[in-house]
Amino acid sequence: MLSYRHAFHAGNHADVLKHMVLVELIGHLRQKDKPFWYIDTHAGAGMYALDTPTALKTAEFRDGIGRLWIQDNLPAPVQAYVDQVRQLNRSGKLLRYPGSPQIALQLLRPADRLHLFDLHSTDSRLLQKEYAGDRRIRALAGDGFAGMKALLPPQPRRALVLIDPSYEDRQDYRQVVDALDDALRRFATGVYMVWYPLLSKREAVRLPGALAALRDRDWLQVEVQVKAPSEDGIGMHGSGLFVFNPPWTLPAMLEATLPALVRLLGQDATAGHLLRHTIA
């Protein structure tokens, strides 16, 4: 049975990196009039309250979006992401955080479509309740890897796929690689973004290399480390993204933005970033 719930981690440093890049990728797709699909394999509950016992138990948002919330003169890509969070907090007080589906919805055009999946019984019910009645959104309780496979290639031949499992099961690492391998064969031109945690465990360390081996070009890897790995090897010290078919503008944006993001989110002297890509 799945135990992971993103409500305990919403708005943390990993969400900052993931959602900043998500806003950038959707903005790129919106530059063309032709509609696109957004497919989220592990969508969670969609939105999260930050003033509940669940969120306050770990209060991870305080070292994520909480640090950005009080800053002025943020880099433009960071500000664009924070602006999406502010849409749910019009009073100016940080009380709600948009998950990936909500951010995508806020940027959705009338002809675009969202396909959302989550396997957790509670979160899938919340997801379906939150977006019931919107004909642009299809939210299902089920295996997101299987759901993605059934949707590819998409009808409009344009899609952004987000894959960000909890990795609480070590089989998730293998499933991510296998699912991407299959997806790239089915729909080679899609934009795929994979989130992964920076952990000391062997599977986490090996995942980026396994993803890079799927394709010799048109991918980007970015990581932000916020603190040193713990001595006992437990806990996440940062996170990363692997993007297949990224826009050509993404490397330059990240190169200019990551130093500031590390300063804003870093928790000790080991904080830093990694950026590599195969984009000509």
| Structural domains of the chain in order of their starting residue, each with its CATH number | 6-277 (3.40.50.150)
Q: Is 164 a catalytic residue?
A: yes
Instruction: Quote the radius of gyration of the chain (alpha carbons, Å).
Output: 17
Q: In what order do the strands lie in the sheet with 272-277?
A: 137-141, 113-118, 37-40, 159-163, 191-198, 238-244, 219-225, 272-277
Tens digit of each residue's pLDDT, the chain (280 residues) = 455 567 788 899 999 999 999 999 999 999 999 999 999 999 888 889 998 888 788 889 999 999 999 999 999 999 999 999 999 999 999 999 999 999 999 999 999 999 999 888 787 888 888 888 888 999 888 899 999 999 999 999 999 999 999 898 889 999 999 999 999 999 999 999 999 999 999 999 999 999 999 998 999 999 999 999 988 767 899 999 999 999 999 999 999 999 999 999 999 999 999 999 998 7
Query: Per-residue b/e over 13-50, b at no fewer than 16 CB within 10 Å?
Result: bbbbbbbbbbbbbbebbeeeeebbbbbbbbbbbbbbeb
Which residue is catalytic, options 63, 164, 182, 216?
A: 164
The distance in angstroms from the start CA to the end CA of the chain is 44
Gap between the Cα atoms of 213 and 48, Å rounded: 36
C-alpha neighbours within 13 Å on the C-beta side of residue 224: 25
Identify which of 242, 247, 238, 249 has the alpha carbon closest to the alpha carbon of residue 193: 242
Q: How many helices (H) and strands (E) does the chain have?
A: 10, 10
Query: Using an 8 Å Cβ cutoff, are 186 and 175 in contact?
Result: no
Which residues pair with residue 161 across a beta bridge? 39, 192
